[in-house]
A and B are shown apart, each in its own frame.
Chain A
Amino acid sequence: MAKPKNVPASTLSTGDLASRTLILDNGAHTIKAGFSSHLTSYQPTPSDCTIIPNCIARSTRDKRTYIGPELTTCLDYGELAYRRPVEKGYVVNWEGEKAIWERSFSNDEGGLGCDPAETNLILTEQPNAPVALQRWTDEMVFEEFGFGAYHRTIGASLNAWAPSPFPSTTDSASGLPVECLLVVDAGYSHTTITPLYHGRPLHNAIRRLDVGEIKEDVCYVSPSLTAFAADLERTWKGGRYDARELDTTVVVDYVLPDYEHIKRGYHRPHDAKVKGGRVLRVDEETGRREHVVTVGNERFTVPELLFTPSDIGMSQTGLCGVILQSIHSLPEGLRQVFLANVIVVGGSGLLPGFVERLDAELRGAVDEDLVVRVARAQDPLKNSWLGSARMAQDEGNLRQRMVMRGEWMEHGEGWVRRRFAGKMGR
């Protein structure tokens, strides 16, 4: 399709929505991307969503640069240098992000095969973004990529349309949001608390905890503070004159992948013969050399940071405290409603013991007559995407939210930003 220069790339006239909607849940670690259409009645499922690493990686071993989806084809993760365009949850480096998006949209292997001119876009961002970054995002989407219609929203607010993980809540029909939801998004950059009312965020009560990025597969969360102390005891080597046995259920040896035989690390109970922290030894069974790292109290002290950031000297309250801060900034009548609908999404939500610990702490911190329900979304990584896909099924929703390229050209970026913040009606 040859286009003359200086003509906007969109083939849509103002007021037309394309048939497909691309939903990009743009995270700092990965992009969750997939299509949804308001013209079919197909119910989107998590399998429609592809997870694309949101980084550009350069491998010095095979001298290749992997952009976005290409990273999954990389065989050797050793000595990879990463470059992440998203900092603290916001796209800061558009040069890199543009490359990743273009690669993701292309028809090549691993790409989505998306033509921006014929697709609507729903893009997520983190709350409390600096205004300049929002402006740049709008500019890039319309000018550089040429999407015809676009909606930018806070990622957490899309969870209101996803199927509810609470067993007692009836599933709402596809186009309607859950009434009240308190979203705890424990992601890569930070953890945000967002109360939503009918899918709209209550801005005064959005809080952020700057602890994120806990994705190791040996980590878990201690069930409570006393259990934390007990765990710490079990992983102690003892004093000089009081050597203790390490409890092998907690202390594990993590075998590092060497990408020849072992593609991904795994862990096994600690072997007392492995001395010291990190060791290169010959595995007895297989006779191969392997790097082994003994992981002891790091398994739970690291996730403990989510609940007690003061452990490393951060002067912020932990997750339970910040949820309470968020709730206390709302009028009293709303507090019970939000406490009863706490949903955990995001990568760190997958840690074993996370939900139980949060539930126990919240339960202990609020009055007895308040109901507290905490649940993890069925698929914490893709939940926002799923909610957005279901929301986009309803044409009414799309028409209310989408901003057309023509409108952007006519009214300017300030108007568009106010629209996305929900200030003006159609």
Chain B
Amino acid sequence: MPHIEELPLTAGKAAAPGWSYVPDTGYDPSKAPLNPTTARSKRKYAALVGGDRGDLSLRQQGQAQKLIAELDDDRSRRKIEVPTRKSAAEEKRGARHQTSNVARILKSEKTFVHYLDDEEALLDKQPARPSYNDETPKPAPRASKTPLARRKSTALNIESSASSSPAPAALPQTPMGPPPLPHHLPQPTSKPQSSTSTAQDPSPYALPSDAELEALLSAPPLSYSAAQSAPPPRTDPPPRRFCDVCGYWGRIKCLSCGGRYCGLGCKEAHLQDKCLRWK
């Protein structure tokens, strides 16, 4: 009898348990609106399910992003023609052949967002940025785009990698030649300054060893998005709201659109100009 078996299509489909842990947010199905149509009932539903802290819905997040992008935009218009006049230096140099690279750079109309996207695509394709240390044999894990403070494993990783860095081999002549740890700094123990000692110092305030410092200094730069400040921790107080009209505390929320105002005077202004209830 020929051997027949069904080959799994997806490789990683382990036996799923059929249940999973779900965070307990206190969702009470009896209080949820059956068919949320108005903005108000949608907000109620969102508040029940997810953020009790007033987490923004996707639409509100989009609005906030748009607002920030608008504020960010310094309105530098690219339509201004650059007058090309031969400066004195150019005349002195004489007509010089422009390399093709330079010509390409000058003509390029890319904005910063393009470069950022290109960079992120590059990171996705490669395992890591062009490896600076040729000694590392194993491919580094994919450079994560999550801001470092958000990653759970950051603190542990940095500590462990700093203390177990391959000391002698990876450290040839120190590149910029800083002086070795100046001697007037109090050395916690009388350990030799050789880079082979990776013993943990007893006091938490002791300076790390030369090897660890070198490892820190020669770490490659982070990508643009990894270096960004992380979102505030969940334990922080919720974000403060201000009146959309005058800037005072936004104590009152408009029933239809969710915009904030501070009192009756600003309420009128809001209803006339800013209310988004028909949108």
Q: Which A residues fall within an 8 A CB radius of B? A: 1-6, 9, 55-58, 65, 67, 81-84, 87-88, 90, 92-96, 98-99, 102-103, 105-108, 115-117, 127-133, 136, 139-140, 143-144, 146, 179, 197-200, 202-204, 206-210, 213, 232, 235-241, 296-298, 301, 308-318, 321-322, 325, 328-334, 336-337, 400-401, 414, 418, 421-425
Contact = CB atoms under 8 A, between A and B. Distances in A.
B273 interface: no
A237 B217 contact: no
B173 A425 contact: yes
Which of the listed residues A83, A209, A328, A400 has the most CB atoms from chain B within 10 Å of its own CB? A83
B207 A333 contact: yes
- Which 4 A-B residue pairings sit nearest by Cβ, starting from the closest? A313-B64, A310-B239, A239-B263, A87-B112
Contact of A133 (B71, B90, B115, B229): B115
Interface stretch (B19-27, B34-42, B240-248): B240-248
Contacts of B271: none
Contact of A202 (B102, B106, B216, B228): B216
A198 B106 contact: no
A315 B231 contact: yes
Given A9-B96, A197-B216, A197-B217, 16 more contacts: A67-B83, A99-B84, A106-B87, A144-B102, A202-B219, A232-B248, A236-B248, A239-B264, A311-B239, A314-B68, A317-B231, A329-B158, A331-B208, A333-B206, A400-B176, A423-B133
How big is chain B's contact interface, by range?
35 or more
B265 A237 contact: yes
Contact of A296 (B75, B87, B97, B247): B247
Contact of B218 (A136, A329, A422): A422
14 contacts: A3-B96, A127-B221, A128-B222, A139-B105, A143-B98, A200-B217, A206-B227, A236-B246, A317-B232, A321-B229, A325-B149, A329-B149, A336-B205, A400-B177
A199 B219 CA distance: 15
A312 B239 CA distance: 9
Contact of B93 (A3, A83, A107, A198): A3
Nearest to B263: A239
Which of the listed residues A146, A314, A421, A422 has the most CB atoms from chain B within 10 Å of its own CB? A314
A82 B163 CA distance: 50
B182 to A, nearest CB: 7
Contact of B108 (A84, A94, A115, A204): A94
A83 B76 contact: yes
A311 B242 contact: yes
A213 B56 CA distance: 27
A312 B68 contact: yes
B247 A297 contact: yes
Contact of B94 (A3, A337, A400, A423): A3
B105 A200 contact: no
Interface stretch (B2-10, B116-124, B191-199): B116-124
Given A102-B87, A128-B221, A424 B216 contact: no
B92 interface: yes
A297 B159 CA distance: 44
A318 B174 CA distance: 36
Nearest to B267: A240
B176 A56 contact: no
Given A92-B110, A207-B229, A422-B217, A5 B97 contact: yes
A131 B227 CA distance: 15
A107 B94 contact: no
Contacts of B77: 81-83
A309 B136 CA distance: 39
Nearest to A369: B205
B74 interface: yes
Given A102-B87, A146-B93, A330-B216, A84 B222 contact: no
A56 B80 contact: yes
A323 B16 CA distance: 43
Given A206-B227, A207-B228, A331-B208, A88 B112 contact: yes
Contacts of A311: 239-240, 242
